[in-house]
Structure 1
Amino acid sequence: MLYAGFWKRTLAYIIDSLILGFVFMIIGLVWIIIQAIGDWVPSPAETSMLTNGPTAIFTMQLLGQTLMNLGASWLYFAIMESSKCRATVGKLALGIVVVDEFNQKLSFGRASARYWSKIVSSIILWIGFIMAGFTARKQALHDLIARTYVVDKRELNYILREQAGRGAGM
């Protein structure tokens, strides 16, 4: 099996980040427009609950925006990697896909576990991501946790055709 290396995976992530950055920008613009049109002003109850007035309101809005972006990012990765595509747009552009230990597409739950495990890879100074350059099967820490592999799509299709041919020939 031809496993996708560190640099190919990094480039795919950069492509996905650009796509998500554009989506986040659109979400942010819509958020600003909604607030401008509605001329949003906190109610007296909201203001009294907040100790710092406008600063706390801005912080709550920023937190809300961050949570929306995090949710959109999770859904993007989990839905795409558990779909028939088996990959995000960035991975598809580079001809790589994510599979489980049986070379099958991921379930939404496993794709979600893979996504949220990236937090661990990030917390430890990105070492979890760098591991993909040094492990035998090019797995990052989140791949090891979720038992997933990032592989070359053409190589995977060849292996799956071979397996189907052997199964039909029996």
Structure 2
Amino acid sequence: MLYAGFWKRVLASIIDNLLLWFVFMILGLIWFVIQAIGDWGSSLVENSLLTDGSSPIFTMKMVGQTLLNWGAMWLYHAIMESSKCKASVGKLALGIVVVDEFNQRLSFGRASARHWSKFISAIILCIGFIMTAFTARKQALHDLIARTYVVDKRELNHILREQAERGAGM
């Protein structure tokens, strides 16, 4: 099996993050316009500033937006990686997919576990991501936790075809 290496996975992540950034910027702009129209003429924010000069409404909106972004990123990765595609847009662009230990598509639950485990990979100074360069099967910490592998799509298709032919020939 040809496992996807560190730099290929980094590039896929960059592609995904750029895509998500663009989508979040468009949605944020739309949200800003809707809020501006709704707040037109309102002096609520000016009259409710905290002692540090920030607004409780602004702070709550930022927390809400952050939670929405995290939710959107989770759904993006979990849905894409548990779909027939087996990969996010960035991974698809580089010809790599995420599979379980049986080379099958992930369940939504396993894809979700993989996604949320990335926080563990990140909070330990990104060592969980760097592990990809040093493990035998090119697994990051979140892959080890979720028991997943990132592999070359063509190689996987070849292996699955061979298995199907052997199964049909019996």
In the superposition, the TM-score normalised over structure 1's length comes to: 0.92
Cα shift at 1:56: 2.0
Mapping 1:12-91, distance limit 5 Å: 12-39=12-39, 41=42, 55-91=55-91
Q: Which residue of 1 aligns with 2:3?
A: 3
Distance 1:153 1:42, change over 3 A: farther
CA distance in 1, matches of 2:122, 2:6: 15
Q: Which amino acid aligns with 2:39?
A: D
Q: Which residue of 1 aligns with 2:103?
A: 103
Q: Which amino acid aligns with 1:37?
A: I
Q: Which amino acid aligns with 1:29?
A: L
Distance 1:32 1:139, change over 3 A: same
Partner of 1:98, secondary structure, is strand
Question: CA offsets per residue over residues 71-94 of structure 1, 9 Å max, x none?
Answer: 111111000000000000000000
Question: CA offsets per residue over residues 45-74 of structure 1, 9 Å max, x none?
Answer: xx5xx9658522211111111111111111
CA distance in 1, matches of 2:38, 2:114: 39
Question: CA offsets per residue over residues 138-166 of structure 1, 9 Å max, x none?
Answer: 00000000000000000000000000000
Matched, 1:159 2:159: yes
Moved over 3 A (4+): 40-43, 50-54
Query: What are the ranges of 5 or more consecutive residues in structure 1 without an aligned counterpart?
Result: none
Partner of 2:55, secondary structure, is helix
CA distance in 1, matches of 2:32, 2:116: 29
In the superposition, the TM-score normalised over structure 2's length comes to: 0.92
Question: CA offsets per residue over residues 86-112 of structure 1, 9 Å max, x none?
Answer: 000000000000000000000000000
CA distance in 2, matches of 1:119, 1:138: 18
CA distance in 1, matches of 2:79, 2:116: 13
Q: Which moved more, 1:60-69 or 1:131-140?
A: 60-69
CA distance in 2, matches of 1:119, 1:82: 19
Q: Which residue of 2 aligns with 1:119?
A: 119
**How many residues end up aligned between the 2 structures?**
166
Distance 1:159 1:123, change over 3 A: same
Q: Which moved more, 1:52-61 or 1:6-15?
A: 52-61
What fraction of aligned residue pairs are identical, expressed as a percent? 78
